[in-house]
């Protein structure tokens, strides 16, 4: 289950950042990925909210700095 | 969840994506646009927006059918999240847009600096999306603390400031400009007292919007976008995302992206003169509830109570379109007399026969009717919007005529008006006196032209339906449906013999009788049992007692397959001839020619115009059209249910 959730999130991030899902992993963070800028971060939030029918608080949005953070934040809410 | 409220299986979305790829490979722009519209209908979310934006950008720019448009987005807030949705909806309307967007809040610098990126981009359209909060804080957050005299001066100020911006812009660029008007705040600063005070916040914003509209009216190619009305349609709380507004200066919620993009695209189409000209309407379950040919004048739902009032509302909305210059036409499978009676006599009918500029009422396929309408009115099929409640008819039109815009009306009639108006297909940027007269001109043309029919393509249509017929004896499982068909079928019913289940059983217990049901499946699904034949072998003739077809499959040559089957059975049973009767009723015009057209000879006709018909089987039987696949379950004469 959590694996498929990770895959879904990878797919969403890849789509927004314009890269292959396989290129996204635990090493991916806002520091390492040039495409993960603040505008794309908001797009990511919208996409995750739509996909998983949830709503993030601002603190959660700010705390998602790495791929792992995103997975854990989503996991805690679904 | 799609906009029409139906939950679509992911397979359906996947098949649409596959259609998109296929359309791309085939260079079939109409098909691609149509698939884009369907995707946006089914899943108007960020993923589809991104997909369609990429798709639109990959479409060859050499294809001149995709109308190119450079759009600059200037805003007082962070607006980049709307780009994908805008590109997606634009493509679905046949616009290939390129976007330019400076950082938010830089709209003044961009306009005032002749060397700015805006002018280098050479826009065709500039969207000036300003939130009142940013543009005019005295009318918003600072309203209560602003003295009354200063409040009044904001109205003059906004007019001056907008005029000077537009004048500066015009020096450098001839592009069209869309200016958002200002939405009302969620809560007026004075609360419940607001409308009681001499100078309320709500009325101030109304006056600001008057000033914006006035400045836009004065300047050529500048149009006010009714952003306030848009926010109002959905509600501030749904429209705005306070969280993102405060955190990222991106106040528009993700749910608002689709309606905002859709609204902009109405204007973009208008600027390029791409608004649709003609609305073609189905009748049954579209302009009224029920089926006129079955339910009769008194039985259709149209009037002061639900659901009749929902259809009245829909007719009013159509009439409004007609009055502002949209041509309206009818494509309906019906008896012309029934329809004439409905329009002539129904007291709640809002639309009148004379409102329609083209009229296709018969049993031929709808794609043919649409072609006919386009040629009668001398307009392109791509200027036609077709609205029907029947998904199979909608799919058929989509398939046969991908350039036609199809509105599949939702299952609840109270949502017809929004389905008609949401996309603003007919919206124009200016209304000339020509527009309001246009429909009348076309109406005259309709009367002058005679109605032709393209029989050549009927067969194509029938093949395309991929129909399978299952013939089976009436049995315990089908008795109730068979009896119900004799009770309810009025139009394609040769003798209108009504049977209760018991009466029918009594016939079937006699070995000289045979009774068979016909189930028709097509590429859109299973229509269930739609045909019934009852016949009796007496002496050397097979007498047809009941020959009927449900109205939903009239015009598909199913009757030919039924007669072919009956000929085969009659020959097997040693009969020399088929004998049929037509007993005319007020409703059964569609069936009256059935025996004549299948080679029967008329035997007699009595005073009531009832006629009997005979087909000599030795002279040749009725052949089954080869576009049907027929499966026969065992039928014995006299088979007991």
Of the pLDDT bands very low, low, confident and very high (cuts 50, 70, 90), residue A19 is very high
Helix (H, G, I), strand (E, B) or coil at B198: coil
Query: What span, in angstroms and rounded, lies between the C-alpha atoms of B417 and B411?
Result: 12
Write b or e for each residue in A14-28: b if 16 or more Cβ atoms lie within 10 A of its Cβ, otherwise e. bbbbeeeeeebeeeb
Write b or e for each residue in B180-200: b if 16 or more Cβ atoms lie within 10 A of its Cβ, otherwise e. bbbbbbeebbeeeebeeeeeb
Check whether the bond before B307 is cis (ω within 30° of 0).
yes
CB atoms within 10 A of CB B308: 18
Contact B616, B457 (CB under 8 A): no
Q: Is A39 within 8 Å of B47 when comparing Cβ atoms?
A: no
Query: What span, in angstroms and rounded, lies between the C-alpha atoms of B547 and B533?
Result: 5
Query: What span, in angstroms and rounded, lies between the C-alpha atoms of B68 and B474?
Result: 61
State the pLDDT at residue B455. 34
| A contact residues 45-74, partner B, Cβ 8 Å cutoff | 45-47, 49-51, 57-58, 61-62
Q: For the segment B444-493, what is each residue's pLDDT rounded down to a tens digit?
A: 444 433 333 333 456 777 887 788 999 999 988 888 889 888 988 888 99
- Is the confidence at residue B73, as pLDDT, over 90? yes
**Tokens read off for B506:** 């009594």
Among B281, B263, B267, which Cα is nearest to B385's?
Answer: B281
Total number of residues shown for chain B: 641
**Tokens read off for B163:** 């005029």
Report DSSP letters for B340-394, one per residue.
HHHHHH-TT--S-GGGEEEEEEESS-HHHHHHHHHHHHT--GGGEEEEES-HHHH
Residue B304 CB contacts under 8 Å (≥ 6 apart), including other chains: B312, B348
Cβ pairs bridging A and B (under 8 Å) = 34
CB atoms within 10 A of CB B545: 18
Q: For the segment B172-226, what is each residue's pLDDT rounded down to a tens digit?
A: 899 999 999 999 999 999 999 999 988 899 999 999 999 999 999 999 899 999 9
Query: What span, in angstroms and rounded, lies between the C-alpha atoms of B353 and B343?
Result: 6
Q: Is A16 within 8 Å of B248 when comparing Cβ atoms?
A: no
Q: Is B46 within 8 Å of A58 when comparing Cβ atoms?
A: no
Q: Is A12 within 8 Å of B47 when comparing Cβ atoms?
A: yes
Q: Is A38 within 8 Å of B250 when comparing Cβ atoms?
A: no
**Structure-token match 């079928």, residue found:** B489
The chain B residues in contact with chain A (CB within 8 A) are: 45-47, 50, 78, 80-81, 243-244, 246-248, 250, 254
Q: Is B47 within 8 Å of A49 when comparing Cβ atoms?
A: no
Among B489, B485, B492, which Cα is nearest to B515's?
Answer: B485
Burial of B619 (0-12, 13-18, 19+ CB in 10 A): exposed
Predicted model pTM: 0.76
The minimal CB distance from A58 to the residues B45, B46, B243 is found for B243
Contact B552, B527 (CB under 8 A): yes
- Is the confidence at residue B167, as pLDDT, over 90? yes
Query: What span, in angstroms and rounded, lies between the C-alpha atoms of A67 and B274?
Result: 44
Q: Is B50 within 8 Å of A15 when comparing Cβ atoms?
A: yes
**Tokens read off for B318:** 């159509």
Helix (H, G, I), strand (E, B) or coil at B531: strand
User: What are the two backbone dihedrals, phi and then psi, of residue B454, each rounded to the nearest 5 degrees?
Assistant: -95, 90
Q: Which residues of A touch B49 (CB under 8 A)?
A: none
Q: Which residues of B touch A46 (CB under 8 A)?
A: 46, 81, 254
Q: For the segment B233-286, what is each residue's pLDDT rounded down to a tens digit?
A: 999 999 999 999 998 889 999 999 999 999 999 999 999 889 999 999 999 999
Give percent of chain B above pLDDT 70: 93
Q: Is B81 within 8 Å of A50 when comparing Cβ atoms?
A: no
Between B91 and B608, the more confident residue is: B91
Residue B154 CB contacts under 8 Å (≥ 6 apart), including other chains: B136, B138, B139, B204, B208
Q: Which residues of B touch A35 (CB under 8 A)?
A: none
Q: For the segment A33-78, what is each residue's pLDDT rounded down to a tens digit?
A: 999 998 899 999 999 999 999 999 999 999 999 999 999 999 999 8
Among A34, A57, A43, A38, which Cα is nearest to A13's?
Answer: A43
Tell me the Ramachandran region of residue B290: left when phi exceeds 0, alpha when psi lies from -120 to 50, beta otherwise.
left
Judge whether A38 is closer than 8 Å to chain B, CB to CB.
yes
């Amino acid at each position: 289950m959590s694996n498929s959730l990770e895959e879904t999130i990878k797919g969403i991030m890849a789509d927004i950042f314009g890269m292959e899902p396989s290129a996204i992993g635990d090493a991916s963070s806002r520091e390492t990925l040039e495409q993960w800028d603040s505008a794309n971060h908001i797009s990511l939030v919208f996409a995750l909210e739509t996909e998983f029918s949830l709503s993030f608080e601002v603190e959660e949005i700010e705390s998602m700095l790495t791929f792992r953070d995103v997975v854990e934040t989503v996991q805690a809410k679904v | 969840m799609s906009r029409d409220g139906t939950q679509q299986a992911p397979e359906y979305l996947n098949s649409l994506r596959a259609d998109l790829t296929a359309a791309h490979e085939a260079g079939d722009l109409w098909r691609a646009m149509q698939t884009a519209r369907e995707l946006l209908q089914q899943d108007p979310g960020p993923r589809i927006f991104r997909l369609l934006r990429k798709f639109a950008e990959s479409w060859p720019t050499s294809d001149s059918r995709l109308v190119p448009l450079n759009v600059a987005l200037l805003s007082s807030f962070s607006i980049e999240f709307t780009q994908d949705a805008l590109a997606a909806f634009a493509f679905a309307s046949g616009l290939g847009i390129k976007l330019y967007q400076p950082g938010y809040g830089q709209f003044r610098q961009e306009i005032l600096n002749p060397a700015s990126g805006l002018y280098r981009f050479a826009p065709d359209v500039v969207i000036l999306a300003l939130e009142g909060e940013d543009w005019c804080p005295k009318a918003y957050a600072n309203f209560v603390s602003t003295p009354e005299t200063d409040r009044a001066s904001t109205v003059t100020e906004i007019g001056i400031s907008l005029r000077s911006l537009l004048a500066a812009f015009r020096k450098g660029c001839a592009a069209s400009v869309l200016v958002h008007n200002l939405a009302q705040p969620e809560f007026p600063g004075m609360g419940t007292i607001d409308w009681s005070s001499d100078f309320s916040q709500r009325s101030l914003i109304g006056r600001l919007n008057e000033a914006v509209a006035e400045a836009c009216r004065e300047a050529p190619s500048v149009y006010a976008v009714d952003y306030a009305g848009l926010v109002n349609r959905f509600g501030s709380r749904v429209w705005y995302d306070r969280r993102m507004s405060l955190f990222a200066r991106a106040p528009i919620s993700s749910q608002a992206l689709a309606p905002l993009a859709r609204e902009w695209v109405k204007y973009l189409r208008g600027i390029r003169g791409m608004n649709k000209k003609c609305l073609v309407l189905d009748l049954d379950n579209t302009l009224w509830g029920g089926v006129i040919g079955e339910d009769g004048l008194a039985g259709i739902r149209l009037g002061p109570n639900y659901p009749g009032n929902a259809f009245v509302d829909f007719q009013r909305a159509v009439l409004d379109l007609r009055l502002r210059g949209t041509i309206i036409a009818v494509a309906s499978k019906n008896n012309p007399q029934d329809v004439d009676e409905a329009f002539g006599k129904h007291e709640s009918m809002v639309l009148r026969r004379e409102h329609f500029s083209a009229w296709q009422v018969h049993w031929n396929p709808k794609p043919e009717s649409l072609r006919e309408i386009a040629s009668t009115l001398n307009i392109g099929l791509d200027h036609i919007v077709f609205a029907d409640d029947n998904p199979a008819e909608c799919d058929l039109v989509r398939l046969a005529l991908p350039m036609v815009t199809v509105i599949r009306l939702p299952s609840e009639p109270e949502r017809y008006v929004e389905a008609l108006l949401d996309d603003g297909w007919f919206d124009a940027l200016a209304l000339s006196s020509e527009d309001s007269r246009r429909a009348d001109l076309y109406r005259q043309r309709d009367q002058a032209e005679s109605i032709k029919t393209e029989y050549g393509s009927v067969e194509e249509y029938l093949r395309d339906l991929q129909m399978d017929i299952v013939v089976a004896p009436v049995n315990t499982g089908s008795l109730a449906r068979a009896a119900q068909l004799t009770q309810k079928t009025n139009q394609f019913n040769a003798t209108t013999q009504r049977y209760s289940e018991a009466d029918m059983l009594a016939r079937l217990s006699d070995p000289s009788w045979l009774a068979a049901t016909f189930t028709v499946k097509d590429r859109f699904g299973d229509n269930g049992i739609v045909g019934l034949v009852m016949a009796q072998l007496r002496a050397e003739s097979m007498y047809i007692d009941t020959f009927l077809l449900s109205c939903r499959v009239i015009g598909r040559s199913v009757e030919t397959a039924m007669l072919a089957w009956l000929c085969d059975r009659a020959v097997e049973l040693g009969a020399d001839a088929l004998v049929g009767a037509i007993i005319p009723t007020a409703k059964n015009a569609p069936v009256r020619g059935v025996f004549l057209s299948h080679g029967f000879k008329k035997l007699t006709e009595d005073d009531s115009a009832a006629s009997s018909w005979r087909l000599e089987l030795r002279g040749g039987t009725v052949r089954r059209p080869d576009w049907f696949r027929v499966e026969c379950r065992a039928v014995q004469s006299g088979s007991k249910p």
